[in-house]
Amino acid sequence: MTGILRAGICAAFAVAASPASAQTYPDKPIKMIVSIAAGSVTDVIMRAAANELQPRLKQALVIENQGGAAGILGGQACARAAPDGYNICVVYHSTMSYNPLLFTKLPYNPDTDFTPIARLFFLTEGVFTSSALGANSIADLKAKAQSGAALNYATLGEGSFPDLFLKWMNNQWNTKIVGIPYRGGGPAAQALAANDVQVTRFGVGNFTGLLEGGKVKALAVGLPARSPVLPDVPTLEEAGLPGFPGQGWWGLAAPRGTPAPIIERLNSEFVKLFSEPKFKAFLDKQAVASAPTTPSGFAEFLKADRKAAEMLIRIANTKPAEYKPEK
């Protein structure tokens, strides 16, 4: 048998096998790489989604947390995973929009290493302080920062969305609040409650219990209008700090090369779940807004979000830095 004939037969078998594998998908557990620490709002949401989807897919969705480094570790793990439908990745604004503008030598390329599956939800974010700080408003926080008080701020690492807000705020106020990296909103919230850091901006859902316990205070929400979750808390514009152009979001992607029928199946299942009234009510309690899309809709959204990221980075006057893995 000639090499050309052998190659042709192999290709024919591959084509014939592809639809069959899509039809029987999934026939084993699916790993879901989550680019943030366990216990954070996104992690809680995706674990709930995994539980809901297991009986529908007839297979388990196994969470693998890859937190830290502004989503770079999760992005790297996703890019290196097999494109077989059994590796899917929970990505967010840092992974896809901000990191390629903030870092050189990234270990993944968001434009070529991933296939979009669906945007899932937007974050309701807020500016929070430790109750020990004694700041009851954005004006109080600004006064303390401008007085030279030593203030630390929880981020998700250099170039992360919380870090960019900090740099933008320091630029607006001519202050020097210091960023301290954490692996997720959960750890950051606990650090704030312990007064290890004095201020941060994260999803509201990370702070619900701590707010009820009086350990942290909400000074503002990053929305055009007040949140029904925190109706007495002003927006950033109402609080006197307008102009921040970004909004946090989370979505689902797969390693590039994952078969299109599998992408469509995953999109269908996740969009259906994130559109159901009962699950949307659960999301409301986590202080996030359900916003599922088609794969093509997510791809178009990513283009627009990259442009918004470029605007924010110019405002924050942030220059690209070489990414150096943690040792």
The whole-number pLDDT of residue 21 equals 67
10 in a structural domain: no
281 within 8 A of 139, measured Cβ to Cβ: no
CA 296 to chain centre: 19
Q: Which domain holds residue 79?
A: 23-123+247-322
Please state the domain count of the chain.
2
Q: Give CA–CA dist 286/297, Å, rounded.
A: 24
> Is residue 55 reached through a cis peptide bond, with omega within 30 degrees of 0 on the bond before it?
no
What pLDDT does 116 receive? 98
Those residues of the chain that have pLDDT short of 70 are 1-21, 327
Which of 204, 220, 239 is where one domain is finished?
Answer: 239
> Residue 280: which CATH number?
3.40.190.150
Kindly give the pairing relationship between strand 152-155 and strand 178-181.
parallel
Instruction: Pick the last residue of a domain from 214, 239, 264.
Output: 239
Report the C-alpha dihedral over residues 232, 237, 242, 243, rounded to 10 degrees: 100
Q: What is the pLDDT of residue 159?
A: 78
Edge-to-edge, what's the strand order for the sheet holding 249-255? 61-65, 30-34, 87-92, 249-255, 114-123, 288-290
Within-domain flag for 1: no
Does 72 fall in a domain? yes
Residue 155 in any domain: the answer is yes
Point out the domain boundary residue: 205, 239, 273.
239
Q: Buried (b) or exposed (e) across 152-166, using 16+ Cβ within 10 A? A: bbbbbbbbbbbbbbb
| Predicted model pTM | 0.81
Residues 257 and 110 in one domain: yes
**Residue 316: what pLDDT?**
76
- pLDDT score at 327: 64
